[in-house]
Amino acid sequence: MPDATGLELIAQDLRDADAEAVLETLHFREQATIIVEPTKIGWVLERLRERGYSFLASVHGVDYYPEEPRLGMHYELLDMEAVDRIRVKLRVHTESPEVPSVTPEWPTADHQEREAYDMFGIVFTGHPDLRRILMPEDYEGYPQRRDFPVGGEPVLFTYNESQGADYTQ
């Protein structure tokens, strides 16, 4: 992990190249986080790749309900040579949950962006194959959102499928 100073240096370099890209930095429990403007995510990841963070370890969605903007995306980058990790984070509103897809540049994000779309309803523009991945294709709603209730939904079996039961009520 870059220390607090190292993180500020990286953020400053990014700010010098594009004044609007970096919104904030956060250093918590030895983990460095850069919070970026959603539209600049592809550019930021590319700049960090040039710095050696060439492995996208994980991509995950978060719902910050009741805070606004509610939805968040996290990109865990890893530098395999310096053994260093950095997290890039962005936040979008539920009304327009659009994030540029990083799949064309980082093929590993394919399944993980589909999962975030499936679970949180974040729409990745430019994703080659944005479909639900874990939930059924005709499922309605985004189950990992915080205001989605746990339990209480009917389970679709073959016997009630013919009776017109649906996944959601």
Q: Which residues bind another protein (CB under 8 A)?
A: 28-29, 31, 33, 54-58, 60-63, 74, 76, 80, 83, 85, 87, 106-112, 115, 119, 132-136, 143-144, 146, 148, 150
Q: Rounded CA gap, 55 and 80, in Å? A: 7
What H or E segment, with its residue span, contains residue 109? helix 109-120
Residues in the chain: 169
CB of 110 to another protein, least distance (A): 6
For another protein, the closer CB: 18 or 148: 148
Between 41-50 and 4-17, two packed helices, what is the crossing angle to 10 degrees? 120
CB of 133 to another protein, least distance (A): 6
For another protein, the closer CB: 20 or 46: 46
CB of 123 to another protein, least distance (A): 19
Number of Cβ within a 10 Å radius of residue 142: 22
For another protein, the closer CB: 13 or 166: 166
Q: What is the DSSP string of 42-76?
A: HHHHHHHHHTT--EEEEEEEEE-TTSSS-EEEEEE
For another protein, the closer CB: 44 or 119: 119
End-to-end alpha-carbon separation of the chain, Å?
46
Q: Rounded CA gap, 133 and 118, in Å? A: 6
CB of 19 to another protein, least distance (A): 26
For another protein, the closer CB: 18 or 94: 94
CB of 42 to another protein, least distance (A): 15
